Amino acid sequence: MIPLTLEEIARAVDGTVYGTSQPGLAVTGPVVIDSREVTTGDLFAAIAGARSDGHDFAPAAYSAGAVAVLGSRPVDGPCVVVDDVVSALTKLAGFVRSQLNPVVIGLTGSVGKTTTKDLLAQILEREAPTVATSRSFNNEIGLPLTILRAGRPTRYLVLEMGAAKPGDITHLVRVGRPQIGMVLNVGPAHVLTMGGIDGVAKTKAEMVRDLRGGLAILNADDERVAAMARQTPATVTFYGTGQDAAVRATNVTLDAAGRASFTLRTAADLVQVRLRLPGEHQVANALAAACAASAVGVPADRIAAALSGAVPRSPGRFEIKERPDGVTVIDDAYNANPASTRAAIRTLAMMSAGRRTIAVLGEMMHQAEGTFLHHEAIGALAGSLGIDVLVAVGMGEGPDAMVAAARGAGVAVYTVPDGDAAIDLLRESLRPADVVLVKASSMVGLSGVAAALKEATLYS
pLDDT digits (tens, 9 = 90+) for 253-273: 999 888 999 999 998 899 999
| Burial (CB count within 10 angstroms: exposed 0-12, middle 13-18, buried 19+), residue 263 | middle
* Averaged pLDDT score across all residues of the chain: 94
Q: Among 66-80, 157-171, 187-201, 371-385, which is the least confidently predicted range?
A: 187-201
- Tell me the pLDDT tens digit for each residue of 55-88: 999 999 999 999 999 999 999 999 999 999 999 9
- Tell me the pLDDT tens digit for each residue of 290-315: 999 999 999 999 999 999 999 989 88
Instruction: Report the alpha-carbon angle 46-101-95, nearest 5.
Output: 35
Average pLDDT over residues 27-41: 96
**What confidence score (pLDDT) does residue 55 get?**
97
For 170, 182, 373, the CA distances from 208, given in Å and listed in that order, are 9, 8, 32
Nearest-Å Rg of the Cα atoms of the chain is 23
Nearest to 360 by CA among 450, 427, 443: 450
- Tell me the pLDDT tens digit for each residue of 320-343: 999 999 999 999 998 898 989 999
Rounded to whole angstroms, the Cα distance separating 443 from 41 reads: 34
165 pLDDT above the threshold of 60: yes
Strand order in the sheet with 435-439: 319-322, 328-331, 435-439, 357-361, 389-393, 412-416
List of domains in the chain: 4-82 (3.40.1390.10), 100-309 (3.40.1190.10), 319-455 (3.90.190.20)
Nearest to 39 by CA among 27, 23, 55: 27
458 pLDDT above the threshold of 60: no
Rounded to whole angstroms, the Cα distance separating 300 from 239 reads: 14
Q: Are 207 and 159 in contact (CB under 8 A)?
A: no
* Amino acid sitting at position 439: K
Q: Among 85-99, 299-313, 373-387, 441-455, which is the least confidently predicted range?
A: 441-455
For 21, 44, 195, the CA distances from 55, given in Å and listed in that order, are 21, 9, 37
Using 50, 70 and 90 to split pLDDT, how confident is the model at 365? confident
Per-residue buried b or exposed e for 431-444, using 16+ beta carbons within 10 Å of the residue's own CB: eeebbbbbbbbeeb
Q: Are 104 and 93 in contact (CB under 8 A)?
A: no
**What confidence score (pLDDT) does residue 460 get?**
46
Question: What sign results for the dihedral spanned by CA atoms 313, 120, 291, 99?
Answer: positive
